[in-house]
Amino acid sequence: MSKRLIWVDGDNFTGWCCSHCTWGFSAPHLESTVATLAFNRLAQETFEKHSCESTNPATTPTMIPIPLVTI
């Protein structure tokens, strides 16, 4: 079964995660649709490059800080 990008909205984490490992991409609060689309595109690109085998097996997704984008 192939890995899938899934959205998680929980108490400790909100963002994109991998369906097969603990990889995660933390979602910032974004003010515009353009910024949200850019964030989603960046999350997709990062997800496609990650390897489930090399992801540290932790109990929560890895939070990757991203710079705030203002448009």
Which of 13, 20, 6 shows the shortest CA–CA distance to 51?
20
Find where tokens 């899938």 sit.
Answer: 4
∠ CA 39-27-59, rounded to 5°: 130
Contact 4, 44 (CB under 8 A): no
Q: Integer distance in angstroms from the first to the last C-alpha of the chain? A: 38
Q: pLDDT by residue (tens digit) across 23-60?
A: 998 888 888 899 889 999 999 999 999 988 876 555 44
Mean pLDDT of 4-26: 90
> What residues are paired with 12 via a beta bridge?
none
Is residue 65 predicted with pLDDT exceeding 70? no
Mean pLDDT of 61-68: 51
